[in-house]
Amino acid sequence: SAVISQKPSRDICQRGTSLTIQCQVDSQVTMMFWYRQQPGQSLTLIATANQGSEATYESGFVIDKFPISRPNLTFSTLTVSNMSPEDSSIYLCSVRGRLTDTQYFGPGTRLTVL
């Protein structure tokens, strides 16, 4: 299995500001995934982050709004830029385990935008 930590666990932010969420994995992984879960909803994939290349964004998500860094094989950051109340969600980092198809999730970052 993979152990994933995220920082911060929660935050309350003002409209128009930006927040950077960190994701740390206990083993080297090729791909890291960022998901969003809006209140009462399911998870939606924002982007896939590969080390050494630009992230691949899903339809409806753009790099200017959700810039992602992937400096090495165990770490990634997601920034939520120019936030509005509609960005209030749980943001989750995910990786696939080594030698397995199982995908593991971090504890999530609960973001509230006022």
Partner 1 sequence: SQQGEEDPQALSIQEGENATMNCSYKTSINNLQWYRQNSGRGLVHLILIRSNEREKHSGRLRVTLDTSKKSSSLLITASRAADTASYFCATDASQGGSEKLVFGKGTKLTVNP
User: Applying CB under 8 A, does 110 fall inside the site for partner 1?
Assistant: yes
User: Applying CB under 8 A, does 96 fall inside the site for partner 1?
Assistant: yes
Residue 7 pairs in a beta bridge with 22
Of these, 7, 43, 51, 61, which contacts partner 1 (CB under 8 A)?
A: 43
User: Applying CB under 8 A, does 7 fall inside the site for partner 1?
Assistant: no
Of these, 57, 61, 75, 105, which contacts partner 1 (CB under 8 A)?
A: 105
Beta strand 43-50 with 56-57: parallel, antiparallel or unpaired? antiparallel
CA–CA separation, 22 vs 58, rounded Å?
20
Rounded least distance, CB 76 to partner 1, Å: 15
Largest CA-CA distance found in the chain, in angstroms, rounded:
42
